[in-house]
Structure 1
Amino acid sequence: MLDYYRLLGVDFTATQAEIEEAYQRQKARLSRRTADPAMQLRLQQVHTGYEILGNPGRRLAYNVLLAQEPVPEPPADPTQLLLARYAPAARWLNAGLILGCLLLLLDWALPMRTFPNEEVLVRQIVSVSSAASDPQMAYDVTTPRTTFRVPSRYGHRVRKGARLTVSQTPLLGVVRRIGVPPTSPGELPEFKASGGNIYGSFSLLPGVLFIVATLGLLPGRSPEMRVNTAVVGALLAVVALVVLIWF
């Protein structure tokens, strides 16, 4: 059913004078283009609308019929449709990120595996800084059962052929501590390897990742919330992986 209020350009509560004024305005505008068949049809519809709305009795009956018309649903938002499409995958990603954090927690909590009397087979110097103004070096060390990186300040203690005690996590095999006899007074018999920083100075990162992923996995969350937390969680996971491998 045609909405004559919209056709005439008046509100539902318009007075008879406002309806009369709107009709005359539409009639004057459309009468100048009567050669166009579409404008002729529109002019006829405007005239019919005025005959209905300009008569109080017919207007009341029309209002009753108009109220019974179903309200058209607004067009779907393409962005919301896209978010709803990817929300299930985002939920699974959040679940995977939570499992990854729990794996890190379990790897940290379990007793470390210790390999005594490991011989240094390879010691290769590597650059760990991209800034030419502040070059920093480290050593990649290989023993019969482990591979790890140590800061350059400990390079003199892990020379090729040296005997070490290597402690690594039981699940992910992250080398956290190196035991080697001191070579000079004041040196400690044990120091940290570079790869254990995910459990040390960067330990806050998995905690933040766990919170973000949990927020996206809770029931009742909107598709937008699930997708946004999955994206942020994935970025944090990439950073955590870089820390785990590089630092």
Structure 2
Amino acid sequence: MQNYYRLLGVDSTATASEIVQAYLAQRTRLKRLAADPAMKSRLAEVEAGYGIISHPRRRLAYDVLLAQEPAEAALPAHYAAAEARWHHYARIARSLNVALLACCLLLGLDWTLPLRQYAHETVQSRFPVSVPSALSAPEVAYRVHTAHTSFRLPSAIGHRVRTGQAITVWQTPILGIVQRISAPASPDGPAPFRPYGGTIYGAFFLLPLLLAAVAAVGTWPGHSPETYVNTAAVGALLTVLALVVLLCF
């Protein structure tokens, strides 16, 4: 005979409110996994079990029958196999979340450390790298290379940096993301200015913060296997977006 207490995850002495809470938690979890036939079948048994032990008279009769059982019946093999798969995926997902959180901490460390300064950097090359598709607003972005750095400039300030010109560049010490540039020979003067604004530390600064929050949830103990898997999937998508920002800007 099926042990509905164990199926719901409560003790045989559980109160009515504890049974209701356990039932709602199991129903919510299993409905998300309804695509798995084993989980759909288990949801049906949870519904049936709740209909018995949530009713005082039915529960009393069920307890009498359960007490006559020699031992608790084990869950069917396909249920156990499905649960084992989810726990296996959860371990992998949690490890991925730990790695993503470490990457976010690395970004935070790179942002907080003092910038590395390269004085008297000679601009080795300056060439257009992208043109917007809108013909009504033609604009060119420039990729600039020096001996130690590489950065992008929008066309609005592209005239401030020319090939063969000596400039000063400040970049982050770990990832080498250029934060400020000074061009003394520029017509606009030597005041420092920022390169292309769409960097991971600029317009897209919320992206690593969101990634860190998702990864932190996915590493915190006590969550269900589905939570670990879902947070790892979301974290992977956010990581792809962050890499696009780092590589393209």
Fold shared by both chains (TM-score > 0.5) = yes
Contact 1:111-1:169 within 8 A present in 2 as well: yes
Give the TM-score taking structure 2 as reference length.
Answer: 0.66
Task: Return the alpha-carbon distance in structure 2 between the equivalents of residues 77 and 67 of structure 1.
Answer: 25
Structure 2: 5+ residue stretches without partners:
2-63
Task: Return the alpha-carbon distance in structure 1 between the equivalents of residues 126 and 66 of structure 2.
Answer: 88
Which has the larger displacement, 199-208 or 94-103?
A: 199-208
Contact 2:100-2:215 within 8 A present in 1 as well: yes
Alignment of 1:115-126 (within 5 A): 115-126=118-129
Instruction: Please say if 1:189 is aligned against 2:191.
Output: yes
Contact 2:97-2:218 within 8 A present in 1 as well: yes
Instruction: Please say if 1:146 is aligned against 2:114.
Output: no
Task: Return the alpha-carbon distance in structure 2 between the equivalents of residues 128 and 174 of structure 1.
Answer: 22
Aligned to 2:95: 92
User: CA 1:64 to 1:117, structure 2 compared with 1: closer, same or farther past 3 Å?
Assistant: closer
Contact 2:114-2:173 within 8 A present in 1 as well: yes
Task: Return the alpha-carbon distance in structure 2 between the equivalents of residues 206 and 157 of structure 1.
Answer: 30
SS in 1 for 2:232: helix
Contact 1:175-1:195 within 8 A present in 2 as well: no
Task: Return the alpha-carbon distance in structure 2 between the equivalents of residues 166 and 209 of structure 1.
Answer: 29
Deviation for aligned residue 1:233: 0.6
Whichever residue aligns with residue 239 of structure 2, its letter is: A
Aligned to 1:59: none
Instruction: Please say if 1:105 is aligned against 2:108.
Output: yes
Deviation for aligned residue 1:176: 1.2
Q: Cα deviations across residues 98-127 of structure 1 (Å, max 9, x unaligned)?
A: 110110111000000111111111111111
Deviation for aligned residue 1:130: 4.5
Whichever residue aligns with residue 213 of structure 1, its letter is: A
Task: Return the alpha-carbon distance in structure 2 between the equivalents of residues 98 and 131 of structure 1.
Answer: 38
Task: Return the alpha-carbon distance in structure 2 between the equivalents of residues 88 and 128 of structure 1.
Answer: 44
Give the TM-score taking structure 1 as reference length.
Answer: 0.66
Contact 1:176-1:194 within 8 A present in 2 as well: no
Deviation for aligned residue 1:95: 0.6
User: CA 1:73 to 1:83, structure 2 compared with 1: closer, same or farther past 3 Å?
Assistant: closer
RMSD: 2.7
Deviation for aligned residue 1:162: 1.1
Whichever residue aligns with residue 69 of structure 2, its letter is: Q
User: CA 1:103 to 1:195, structure 2 compared with 1: closer, same or farther past 3 Å?
Assistant: farther
Contact 2:104-2:208 within 8 A present in 1 as well: yes
Match of 1:170 among 158, 169, 173: 173
Task: Return the alpha-carbon distance in structure 2 between the equivalents of residues 64 and 117 of structure 1.
Answer: 87
Aligned to 2:235: 233
Which has the larger displacement, 121-130 or 205-214?
A: 121-130
Task: Return the alpha-carbon distance in structure 2 between the equivalents of residues 66 and 98 of structure 1.
Answer: 49
Contact 1:174-1:195 within 8 A present in 2 as well: no
User: CA 1:181 to 1:246, structure 2 compared with 1: closer, same or farther past 3 Å?
Assistant: same
Aligned to 2:13: none
Match of 2:212 among 206, 210, 224: 210
User: CA 1:212 to 1:123, structure 2 compared with 1: closer, same or farther past 3 Å?
Assistant: same
Task: Return the alpha-carbon distance in structure 1 between the equivalents of residues 66 and 127 of structure 2.
Answer: 86
Aligned residues: 185
Structure 1: 5+ residue stretches without partners:
2-62
Aligned to 1:35: none
Task: Return the alpha-carbon distance in structure 1 between the equivalents of residues 160 and 66 of structure 2.
Answer: 92
Could you tell me the percent identity over the aligned residues?
49
Task: Return the alpha-carbon distance in structure 1 between the equivalents of residues 207 and 234 of structure 2.
Answer: 12
Aligned to 1:156: 159
Which has the larger displacement, 68-77 or 109-118?
A: 68-77
Task: Return the alpha-carbon distance in structure 1 between the equivalents of residues 153 and 217 of structure 2.
Answer: 37
Aligned to 2:132: 129
Task: Return the alpha-carbon distance in structure 1 between the equivalents of residues 80 and 199 of structure 2.
Answer: 45
